[in-house]
Homo-oligomer: A and B are copies of this chain.
Amino acid sequence: MTSDCQKLSSVLQLWDKSLVLERLRQMRNTQTMAELQLQSPGRQPTIRDVAELAGVATSTVSRALSNPGRVNRVTRERIEEAAAQLNYIPSSQARGLSSGRTQTVAVLVPDITNPFYFDIIRGAQHQLKAAGYTQLLVDTEESAEMEADALQKMRRSADGFILAASRLTDAQLAEAAAQQPLVTINRAPAIAPTVVIDTPSAIIQALEHLVSLGHTRICFVGGPATSWSNAKRWQAFQDETAERKLTTFSVGPFPPKTTSGAAAADAAVHTGATACIVFNDLLAIGMLQRLRERGIRVPEDMSIVGCDDIFGADFCNPPLTTMASPIEQAGRVAVSMLLSRLNPQYGGTSRRLAVMPTHLTVRASTGAAPS
B102 and A112 within 8 A (CB): no
A195 sits at the interface (CB 8 A): no
**Cα(A164)–Cα(B153), bound, Å:** 27
Residues of chain A in range 236-277 having any CB-CB distance to chain B below 8 Å: 258
Contacts of A139 in B (CB 8 A): 122, 125
**Cα(A179)–Cα(B125), bound, Å:** 26
Binds B, one of A69-77, A88-96, A197-205: A88-96
Chain B residue with Cβ nearest A139: B125
Contacts of A96 in B (CB 8 A): 93
**Cα(A112)–Cα(B109), bound, Å:** 14
A113 sits at the interface (CB 8 A): yes
A91 and B179 within 8 A (CB): no
Binds B, one of A12-20, A27-35, A309-317, A334-342: A309-317
Binds B, one of A130-138, A186-194, A211-219, A227-235: A130-138
Contacts of A44 in B (CB 8 A): 155-156
B118 and A122 within 8 A (CB): no
**Cα(A178)–Cα(B41), bound, Å:** 9
A288 sits at the interface (CB 8 A): yes
Chain B residue with Cβ nearest A125: B139
A285 sits at the interface (CB 8 A): yes
B121 and A157 within 8 A (CB): no
A347 sits at the interface (CB 8 A): no
B119 and A285 within 8 A (CB): no
Counting chain B CB atoms within 10 Å of each CB, the highest count among A42, A258, A311, A316 belongs to A311
Q: Given A44-B155, A136-B134, A156-B92 in contact, is the A125-B97 Cβ separation under 8 Å?
A: no
Chain B residue with Cβ nearest A286: B315
B89 and A97 within 8 A (CB): no
Q: Mark A40-75, 1 if CB is under 8 A from B, else 0.
A: 011010000000000000000000000000000000
Please give the distance in Å from A181's CB to the nearest CB on chain B: 9
Q: Mark A299-321, 1 if CB is under 8 A from B, else 0.
A: 00000000000011011111000
Contacts of A87 in B (CB 8 A): 152
Chain B residue with Cβ nearest A179: B42
Chain B residue with Cβ nearest A122: B112
Contacts of A152 in B (CB 8 A): 87, 89
A89 and B155 within 8 A (CB): yes
A289 sits at the interface (CB 8 A): yes
**Cα(A98)–Cα(B76), bound, Å:** 29
Q: Given A315-B288, A317-B316 in contact, is the A156-B112 Cβ separation under 8 Å?
A: no
Ranked 5 nearest A-B pairs via Cβ: A317-B317, A93-B96, A312-B312, A137-B137, A113-B118
Give me 13 A-to-B residue pairs in the complex whose CB atoms sit less than 8 angstroms apart, sorted by A's number.
A44-B155, A91-B157, A93-B93, A93-B157, A122-B139, A135-B136, A135-B137, A288-B315, A311-B311, A311-B312, A315-B316, A315-B317, A316-B316
Residues of A within 8 A of B (CB): 41-42, 44, 87, 89-94, 96-97, 102, 112-113, 115, 118-119, 121-122, 125, 134-139, 152-157, 178-180, 258, 285, 288-289, 311-312, 314-318
